[in-house]
A and B are shown apart, each in its own frame.
Chain A
Amino acid sequence: MNLKTLAMASALTMAACAAQAEVKVGMITTLSGGGAGLGLDVRDGFMLALEQSGRSDIEVIIEDDQRKPDIAVQLADKMIQSDKVDVMTGIIWSNLAMAVVPGAVAQGKFYLSPNAGPSALAGKGCNKNYFNVAWQNDNLHEAAGAYATDATFLNAFILAPNYPAGQDALTGFKRYFDGNVAAEVYTQLGQTDYAAEIAQIRDSVADHVFFFLPGGMGISFLKQYADSGVKKPLIGPAFSFDQGILQAVGDAALGVKNTSQWNKDIDNPTNAAFVASFQEKYGRLPSLYASQGFDTANLLISAVASADVNDPDAFRAALKAAKFDSTRGDFAFGNNHHPIQNIYVREVIKEGDVYTNKIIGTALTNHADAYAPECKM
C-alpha cells in the first residue's frame, strides 16, 4: 500500500465517520414559479423547528423543483446518489410525489411527506419507509362533506379542476355528504375565469357550493363569485384559504367555511409557541403548510434523538411512534403511516388588517383515511 492509497483510505474513513455523526436530509420543494408560496412555508416551518431544536447533527440540503416532475426526479437522483441523503422530504404536489417517492423508498431512503398525500401511496402502494405528516389527499374534502351534512345542506353544487386530485376531492366530498348533488362540474386545471361556472351556480337548485380550487384558481373564483352577487354559501378545503392566499382575496372570502387539520388558534403550548416564533422570525402569520413543515421536522428530530438512522428498523419504529409535540395536539400514525387526526371547520375572519381563520367546530374526530384498509402493513 503506497502513501497515496493510505491517504485516500484515511480520507474515506473520515468521511464515513462524519457521515455517521449526522443525518443528511434532502428537501425538494417548490421555491419558484406560481406555487412557490407553499414551498416557502414548508421550508420555513421545517427550518424553524430545526433551529429551535439546537441540533447540529441534522444537515439539510434544499433544492427547488420548480413544480416540474422531471426536475424533481433529477434532484432526487442527485441527492440519493451523490449527496447520499438518509431522509427525504419537502414535495408539495401529488404528481411530483408520485414521480419521486416510490423510487426513493425503493432505494431504502425514508420519505417524510409534509404535504402531498396521493391515494396511490396510502392504499395498496403504501411503503414502510413512507410517512405522511400532513394528510391523505381526500381528508379535508371528506371533512367538508361531513360539515355540509351537519349544517343540514341538502343540495350541493360541486366544482373541481379536471385532474386526479380534483376528482379525488369530489369523491372525498361525496363520501361524507348525505344530501343530493345537484351538479358536478369539472373545470380546466389553471383556469382563471369562472364566469360560466358561476352562471351555472346561479341557475342551479343547489343550496350551497363545494369547491376545490387550490392556489391562484381559488383566488380568481372567490373574487369573481363575490362580485357576481350569487349568495349561495361556499364550503371548501383549507387550500383556497391559507394565510398566503387570503390577503390576495380580501373581503371576498370573509365568512366562508373551510376545513383544515390545523389552525393558529388550536389551543396547545406547542402551537402557541410555533405561531409566535414563526411570526417573529419571518414577519408573517404561518399557514397550514408552515405547520406541516414544522411538524415534519419535529417528527424527524424525535426519531434522530432516539434511534440511529443507520439502523433502519429502529429508526422506522422511532418515526412510527411519533413521539413529538405536534402543533395539532395529539398526533398518531395509522397502519399506513398516514395521520389519524381531527379535522376542523374554520371561518374566514378579519383581525385588524389581516385576514385569517378561526375554528368554529370539529368536522371529523380521529379521522383515518379511506385507503388504510387496503394497505398490507
Chain B
Amino acid sequence: MSLILFIEQMLNGVQFGVMLFLMAAGLTLIFGVMGLINLAHGSLYMIGAFAAAWVAGMTGSFLLALIASLAAAAAAGALIELTVIRRLYDRDHLDQVLATFALILIFSEGTRWVFGSFPLFLEIPPYLSGPVTLPGGIDYPLYRLAIIGVGLLVAAGLFALIARTRIGIQIRAGEADREMIAALGVNISALYTLVFALGAALAGLAGALVGAIQSVQIGMGEPVLILAFVVIVIGGIGSIKGALVGAILVGLTDTLGRVLLPVFFAQFMTPQAANSVGSSLASMSIYILMAGVLVMRPSGLFGKA
C-alpha cells in the first residue's frame, strides 16, 4: 500500500471519528451529568438530518439547513426532556432504556407520517463539493475536511464551555453532587433541560453534516448510536476529552481495520479466505478495542474510577 493511500485512509479515520464525537459528546454529557441512558439520541440525529434536508429543499441554502438542524434537534430535545425524560432521573436504568426506546419508535413513525417512507435528498453545497489536492498530491474531498474542521471547532467550544464558563462550572458541579448544587440555589431542572438540548443540538448537527454524504432516511440514527455508546465506554462516561479521544480511536480502528486486515490476512491465506476473514474481523475490531480498553482501564480512558 502506498504512503499516499495510507495517509488518505488516516484522514478518513479521523473524519469518521470527528463525526462520532459530535454524537458521543451529547450522549456522554447527558449520561455524565444526569445519569441518564438516552437511546433516543439517534432519533435526534435523524431529526437534525430531516430538518436540514427539508430546509435545504425549501430554501436551497446549506447554511440555513445547518441552523435548522441545530434548532430542530435542540427543540425536540428540550421537548422530550420536559415531557418524558424529567420523570426518569430517579428511576433505574432499565426504565430509562424502556422509555427512551419507546421514544425511538414514536420519532421514527412520526417522521414517516410527516415525510413519507422514501429517503430524502440533501446534497453538499457547490462551494464545498469536489476534491482538493493536499500537499503530497492527495486528492481529498473538501467536504470531509470541512467536517473535520467543524468537529474540532465544536470540541474546542465544548472544552471552553465546560472549563471556562459559569454554566460549565454548574454542569461539573451537577455531575458531582446534584442535591448540593440545588441547595446552593442553582435551578437544576433548567440546567438539565439546557444540557439535554445542547446534547440534542450536537446530535442534530452531526445528522445534518453526515446527511449530505449519506442517506437521509428513517432509522439512520440507530447504527451511529451503537458506535457512540462504544465511544463513550472507551473514553470514560461523562468525559468530553474521553469522548474526543475515544471517537478518533474508534474512527481510526474501524477505517484502518477495514483496509488493512484483508491485506494482512492475504499474506498467508488465499485471497478469498483473506477477504472474508479480514472483513469479518474488521467489523469486530472496535468491539475488540473496547474490550481491550476495559480490561486495562475498567472505567474507560478518562473515566473516574
Q: Which residue in B12, B121, B283 is a CB contact (below 8 Å) of A247?
A: B121
A269 within 8 A of B: no
Q: A229-B139, A248-B216 are in contact. Are A32 and B119 (CB under 8 A)?
A: no
Q: Which residue of B lies closest to A223 (CB)?
A: B213
A192 and B119 contact, CB distance less than 8 A: no
- Stretch of A20-28, A147-155, A182-190 contacting B (4+ beta carbons < 8 Å): A182-190
Residue of A nearest to B223 (CB): A190
A184-209 CB mask vs B (1 if < 8 Å, else 0) is: 11111010110111011011000000
What CA separation (Å) do A45 and B150 show in the bound complex? 45
Q: Is there contact, CB below 8 Å, between B130 and A229?
A: yes
Residues on A with beta carbons closer than 8 Å to the beta carbon of B224: 192
Among the listed A40, A216, A217, A252, which residue makes an inter-chain contact with B117, where contact means beta carbons less than 8 Å apart?
A40
Contact with B along A224-266 (1 / 0, CB 8 A): 1001110000000000000011011111100000000000000
A206 to B71, CA, bound (A): 45
Does A34 sit at the interface, judged by CB under 8 A? Answer: yes
Does B69 have its Cβ within 8 Å of any Cβ on chain A?
no
Question: At the interface, yes or no: B268 with Cβ under 8 Å from chain A?
Answer: no
Q: Which residues of B contact A193 (CB under 8 A)?
A: 12, 16, 213-214
**Complex Cα–Cα for A249 and B119 (A):** 9
Asked if residues B119 and A219 are in contact (CB atoms below 8 Å), the reply is yes
Contact of A220 among B121, B124, B213 (CB under 8 A): B213
Asked whether any CB of chain B lies closer than 8 Å to the CB of A162, the reply is: yes
Kindly state whether residue B259 has any CB partner on chain A within 8 Å: yes
| Secondary structure call for the A interface | helix
Q: How many residues of B contact A (CB 8 A)?
A: 49
Chain A residues within 8 Å of B15, by CB: 195
B12 touches A196 (CB 8 A): yes
Given known A196-B258, A247-B118, contact A162–B280 (CB-CB < 8 A) = yes
Task: Produce 1/0 per residue, A162-192, CB < 8 A to B.
Answer: 1000000000000000000000111110101
Asked if A62 lies at the interface with its beta carbon under 8 angstroms from chain B, I say no
State whether A248 touches B12 (Cβ < 8 A). Answer: no
In the complex, the answer to whether A184 meets B271 with C-beta atoms within 8 Å is: yes
> Counting CB contacts under 8 A, is A352 at the interface?
no
- Determine whether A102 belongs to the interface, using a CB cutoff of 8 Å to chain B: no
> Smallest Cβ distance from B32 to chain A, in angstroms?
27
A31: chain B residues within 8 A (beta carbon):
117
Q: Is the CB of A216 within 8 A of B123?
A: no
**B234 to chain A: closest CB distance in Å?**
19
| Distance between Cα atoms of A192 and B143 in the complex (Å) | 16
Supposing A199-B5, A228-B131, A250-B121 touch, asked if A36 and B12 sit within 8 A by C-beta, the answer is no
Closest to B19 in A: A193
- CB of B275 within 8 A of CB of A186, answer yes
Q: Is the CB of A229 within 8 A of B214?
A: no
Also in contact, A37 and B119, with CB within 8 A (given A219-B215, A229-B131): yes
- Give the residues from 141 to 193 in chain B that come closer than 8 angstroms, CB to CB, to chain A: 141, 143-144
Task: Tell me, yes or no, whether B8 is within 8 Å of chain A by CB.
Answer: yes
CB-contact partner of B141 in A227, A250, A251, under 8 A: A227
B9 interfacial contact with A, CB 8 Å: yes
Please judge, given known A-B contacts A37-B118, A195-B15, A195-B16, whether A223 and B218 are in contact too, CB under 8 Å: no
Determine if A33 is an interface residue (Cβ-Cβ < 8 Å): yes
Residues of chain B lying within 8 A (CB to CB) of residue A220: 213-215
Contacts of B215 in A (CB 8 A): 192, 215-217, 219-220, 223, 248
Give Cα A203 to B120, complex, Å.
31
When the two chains form their complex, are residues A245 and B130 in contact, meaning their CB atoms are under 8 A apart?
no
Interface residues of B in 49-86 (CB under 8 A from A): none
B217 at the interface (CB under 8 A from A): yes
Considering only CB atoms, which chain A residue lies closest to B220 in the complex?
A216
B283 — which chain A residues lie within 8 A by C-beta?
162, 188
Bound CA span A186–B278, Å: 9
Complex CA distance for A203 and B215, rounded to whole angstroms: 25
Contact A229 B121 (CB under 8 A): no
- Among residues of A, the one whose C-beta sits closest to the C-beta of B142 is A227
Return chain B residues, CB-CB under 8 Å to A197.
258
Q: Provide the B244-261 mask, 1 if CB < 8 A to any CB of A, else 0.
A: 000000000001001100
Known: A34-B218, A37-B118, A245-B119. A196 touches B141 (CB 8 A): no
In the complex, whether B2 has a CB less than 8 A from a CB of chain A is yes
Residues of B within 8 A of A244 (CB): 118-119
In the assembled complex, 5 residue pairs joining A and B whose CB atoms fall closer than 8 Å, in A order, are A192-B215, A199-B259, A203-B5, A224-B213, A227-B141
Known: A223-B124, A229-B131, A229-B141. 5 other contacts (CB 8 A): A162-B280, A184-B272, A202-B5, A223-B213, A227-B213
